Copies of this chain bind each other. A is one copy, B any other.
Amino acid sequence: MPSYAAPARDMHFILHDLLKVSQSDVPGYDELDPDFTSAVIEEAGKLASEVLAPLNTVGDRQGCTLENGVVRTPEGFKAAFDQVRDGGWTALDCDPDYGGQGLPYLMSTAVGEMFSSANMAFNMYQGLTHGAYNAIHAHGSDDQKQTYLPKMVSCEWTGTMNLTEPHCGTDLGLIRTKAEPQDDGTYRISGQKIWISSGEHDMADNIIHLVLAKIPGGPDGVKGISLFIVPKFMVGDDGSLGARNAVTCGGLEEKMGIHGNATCVMNYDGATGFLVGEKHAGLRAMFTMMNEARVGVGLQGFAQAETAYQNACAFARERLQGRAVSGAQNPDGPADPIIVHPDVRRNLMDQKAFVEGARAFTYWGAAMIDRAHRCDDAAADGLISLMTPVIKGFLTDEGFDATVRAQQTLGGSGFTREWGLEQFVRDTRITMIYEGTNGVQALDLVGRKLATDNGKHVMAFFEMVKSFIKENEGNEALKTDFLDPLKAASKDLQAAGTFFMQHGMKNPDDALAGSYDFMHLFGHVCLGLMWAKMARAAHETLEAGADDPAFYETKLATGRHYMARRLPATALHLARINAGGNTVMALDAEQF
């Protein structure tokens, strides 16, 4: 069975050497001194390793079951959820007005990483609740906030997001679920929603469904969508639970992975719903949930890669096969551990360089979200909005790929259920699909985000890279290994942007045919930038005299690997983008 240990040292490095959080001017960051963050990481890490990780295999094997409308979660999930609740982990970055701890989103990101590494399916029950909390917090009435948020902050009640219907996923304009206004101001919700994560389960007293539906007579398409709260149990004025609402779980999806999370068909048979925000403004409200959810999914991608990598390393250090080409390294044993072989190392280094780069990128993004919210900083908001599809799409594609690589390190053992690596592959696969497939992320990036505010935010990103390079150009320790490759990669990104500007208006197919490559090109430049920043931070700490120089030397070596071996992918992505849409659009549908 696989195991998990929180990468506390690396988290500390990112928070304090790279992001220098306690020197930040973002309100609340002054609390984040090393003692505090270490204590949080240690406690959450213990819970992740000792409670959540052992349940990961259980969840996969048992899955969820539906009987007479009741969904049972795997053995041990309920007790573990109580522990998570009791520790206050669900309230970390929530509003103190509703019982939250008011910590920065950055801290809940670090905790979320550990929980997602240990047991992704389990952590989704809380994750979706947090998304629903956000939507109500941003768009609900005061009454609604008072009624629902305190219980959702504590996860006594959990939440869901109901978008998809059998005939519509990405294209929400096709939604058929109906919301008929009633005399008492409520709505009667009727329709079927599918793929509803955590839609029904036995771990909370109530479930608060957020449901997209159309009020008859409203505008066609996405402009006619409204958002509703549909509680599983009606809530009385005093907060007590009343009658069962007419919403039921009609079935559980059989899936490739995340068996521990109940993916439900939800039937709304004239259920009572409460409008959130304005009529016909549901999509915007839903996107409040969506954007944070997308960052959270990117996080899942690398979090799974982290735990897969840890287990691959353990195997590679123990498994004895063959001899090092440079001479036996374990001469008294029957063979050397396979970690001596260059190709095994290449594979592990690729994983390590990705995971650490992705962690830096995601935490940096979380800090940007904090800056946007806590400082009302429009530039930060624009930048993180631009980056959201990159975080989601690039980190989940690469995260999945990393779990496949980790599985490969184990050879035949990787294919067996016993070792658990194959579960990481199956679980991580969903991250490339849900909250908008990665193709949709690429479309969002190229078709929408690039041009937002006349391209101001992408220009700001280029400026950020440029000024980083400029600031450090005299630094010989960084130049060859970090700054030069970053400059080349950034040039590729700009060239791709130019291609889109020249071709996008004339022939949108040319731009969209390259959208997926652009998302990856952008992702590589972001990770390249993070690695260059981490290298600078590592050099600075080493020069100032670090207690554990080996950590920083390892960091630099890992960064060099990314810059030398992963970052050059930007040129390939640019070549594909420059190839345009001709070959992509050449065939008629029936010629495929």
A interface, CB within 8 angstroms of B: 164, 167-171, 173-174, 194-195, 253-257, 313, 316-317, 320-322, 325-326, 334-335, 337, 339-349, 352, 400, 404, 407-408, 411-412, 414-418, 422, 425-426, 429-430, 432-434, 437-439, 442-443, 447, 508-509, 512-513, 515-516, 550, 554, 557-558, 560-561, 564-565, 568-569, 571-572, 575-576, 579, 581-587, 589-592
Contacts and interface: CB of A to CB of B under 8 A. Distances in A.
Contacts of A509: 325-326, 342
A582 B581 CA distance: 39
24 contacts: A171-B322, A174-B334, A174-B335, A254-B418, A255-B417, A316-B592, A317-B589, A342-B513, A342-B581, A343-B439, A343-B513, A345-B585, A346-B584, A407-B429, A408-B437, A408-B438, A411-B433, A412-B433, A415-B429, A557-B586, A557-B587, A564-B576, A564-B583, A571-B572
The secondary structure that dominates the A interface is helix
Contacts of A571: 571-572, 575
Contacts of A345: 513, 584-585, 587
Of all A-B residue pairs in the complex, the 3 with the closest CB atoms, nearest first, are: A561-B583, A342-B512, A256-B422
A575 B568 contact: yes
A344 B170 CA distance: 13
A560 B576 contact: no
Contacts of A253: 416
A343 B433 contact: no
A335 B412 contact: no
How many protomers of this protein does the assembly include? 2
A437 to B, nearest CB: 5
A585 B342 contact: yes
Contacts of A346: 513, 516, 584
Contacts of A343: 439, 442-443, 512-513, 515-516
Contacts of A407: 429
A569 B568 contact: no
A425 B256 contact: yes
A334 B175 CA distance: 11
A485 to B, nearest CB: 10
A416 B434 CA distance: 12
B321 A168 contact: yes
A221 to B, nearest CB: 10
Contacts of A174: 320-321, 334-335
Given A339-B589, A564-B583, A568-B572, A169 B321 contact: yes
Given A513-B342, A560-B586, A568-B576, A433 B416 contact: no
A530 to B, nearest CB: 17
Given A167-B334, A174-B335, A325-B447, 15 more contacts: A195-B412, A256-B416, A256-B417, A256-B422, A317-B589, A317-B590, A342-B585, A346-B516, A352-B592, A408-B432, A408-B439, A561-B583, A565-B579, A568-B575, A571-B575
